[in-house]
């Protein structure tokens, strides 16, 4: 059996070669855009509502607690006359346990949030999907150049809480996420090589990535840590920290860390559920579509929903300062 092939010239450019496979009606349906608008308005409403409530509640109390003396008489007056978050206003700014790890996690989170935003914006204004591996390359380079943010945030937070081992905090902030990804990638790459897969990452590529981290990412993290310690490392607590720690009362079942974490994630998940449906459908159901604008909406929802502030305020009102710190 034989067959023949006839090549015909086409006017379709290389960048538009996937248009024949894209399912525009599925992604541009009216329900899709209505869900995007609905979630966006919910984020704005919740953010404004929480801001108004907290501003009206806390405005008149900041000056009062900043002037109070830190003594036993103040503590007794707090217990007898006040309730809710006012009882723990002098304890919530106490340095937390595991300050090095906490500062590294917060700094890495700030860097990843900015990293995802930059990659999405570059994908919207450019054509990162045209070349193979363009998004991965952009992700690696953006991560290297945003390492300054990780060092700045973690260094400032560590210094504000009275930390002394800032070098340890800087090293952990600069290496925690890259080495975690490297460990996972090394395991997967070993499995791919064992099975002879073409998806295995070449050794030269891994060396290049390590060089980028060692000569770009790590120095920027060091610079950010130094700048953060000097510019934002001074304590800026709105009230004085009490010398005598307040005892933690027994908390109800719905204030345990597992329940609070679950409740805190329901609202953000509800706001991005529709968008996640379209994202996973494009991956698994052959509904091919490069929808970076939807990913930008997901980023705004996740960053704008003030659900963690709700949980912290609830824990403060119940007197559980350690759960509020988590």
Calpha distance 172→157 (Å, rounded): 14
Last residue of a domain, one of 190, 211, 236: 236
One domain for residues 192 and 301: no
Q: pLDDT for 17-31, tens place per residue? A: 666 666 666 555 555
Whether residue 12 has pLDDT greater than 70: yes
Q: How many structural domains compose the chain?
A: 2
Supply the pLDDT for residue 300. 77
Residue 323's pLDDT band (cuts 50, 70, 90): very low
Lowest mean pLDDT among 156-170, 193-207, 214-228, 265-279: 265-279
Calpha distance 69→90 (Å, rounded): 11
Calpha distance 287→280 (Å, rounded): 9
Supply the pLDDT for residue 114. 94
Supply the pLDDT for residue 89. 67
In the three-class reduction of DSSP (H, G, I as helix; E, B as strand; rest coil), residue 284 is classed as helix
One domain for residues 14 and 110: no
Here the tokens at position 225 are 């840590």
Place of tokens 């502030």: 309
Q: Which of 48-62, 179-193, 293-307 has the highest mean pLDDT?
A: 179-193
- CA distances to 182, 187, 189 from 195, in Å: 20, 13, 10
Q: Is residue 143 part of a domain?
A: yes
Residue 313's pLDDT band (cuts 50, 70, 90): low
Calpha distance 176→149 (Å, rounded): 15
Q: pLDDT for 115-125, tens place per residue? A: 999 988 888 88
- CA distances to 94, 102, 263, 326 from 322, in Å: 10, 13, 18, 6
Q: Is residue 1 part of a domain?
A: no
Lowest mean pLDDT among 72-76, 112-116, 117-121, 138-142: 72-76
Residue-range definition of the domain harbouring residue 316: 10-93+251-326
Residue 184's pLDDT band (cuts 50, 70, 90): very high
One domain for residues 80 and 187: no
Q: Is residue 322 part of a domain?
A: yes
Residue 309's pLDDT band (cuts 50, 70, 90): low
Q: Which residues contact 282 (CB under 8 A, 6 or more apart)?
A: 27, 288, 289, 291
Helices (H) and strands (E) in the chain — how many of each? 13, 0
Last residue of a domain, one of 236, 266, 283: 236
Q: Is residue 30 part of a domain?
A: yes
């Amino acid at each position: 059996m034989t067959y023949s092939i006839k090549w015909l010239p086409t006017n379709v450019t290389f960048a538009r070669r996937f248009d024949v496979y894209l399912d525009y009606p599925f992604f541009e349906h009216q329900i899709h855009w209505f869900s995007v608008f609905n979630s966006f308005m919910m984020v704005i409403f919740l953010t404004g509502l929480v801001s108004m409530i907290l501003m009206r509640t806390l405005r008149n109390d900041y000056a009062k607690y900043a002037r109070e003396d830190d003594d036993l008489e103040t503590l007794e007056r707090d217990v007898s006359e006040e309730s809710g978050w006012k009882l723990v206003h002098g304890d919530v700014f106490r340095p937390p346990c595991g300050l090095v790890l906490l500062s590294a996690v917060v700094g890495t989170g700030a860097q990843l949030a900015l990293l995802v935003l930059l990659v999405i914006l570059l994908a919207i204004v450019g054509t990162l999907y045209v070349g193979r591996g363009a998004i991965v390359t952009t992700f690696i380079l953006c991560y290297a150049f945003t390492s300054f943010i990780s060092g700045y945030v973690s260094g400032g937070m560590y210094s504000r809480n009275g930390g002394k081992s800032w070098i340890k905090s800087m090293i952990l902030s600069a290496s925690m996420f890259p080495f975690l990804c490297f460990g996972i990638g090394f395991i997967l790459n070993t499995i791919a090589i064992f099975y002879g897969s073409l998806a295995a990452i070449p050794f030269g590529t891994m060396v290049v990535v390590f060089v980028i981290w060692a000569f770009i990412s790590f120095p920027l993290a060091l610079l950010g840590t130094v700048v953060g310690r000097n510019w934002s490392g001074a304590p800026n607590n709105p009230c004085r920290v009490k010398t005598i720690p307040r005892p933690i009362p027994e908390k109800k079942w719905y204030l345990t860390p597992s329940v609070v974490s679950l409740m805190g994630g329901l609202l953000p998940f509800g706001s991005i559920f529709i968008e996640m449906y379209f994202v996973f459908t494009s991956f698994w159901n052959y509904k091919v579509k490069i929808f970076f604008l939807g990913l930008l909406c997901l980023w705004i929802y996740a960053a704008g929903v003030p659900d963690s502030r709700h949980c912290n305020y609830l824990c403060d009102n119940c007197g559980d300062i350690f759960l509020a710190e988590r």
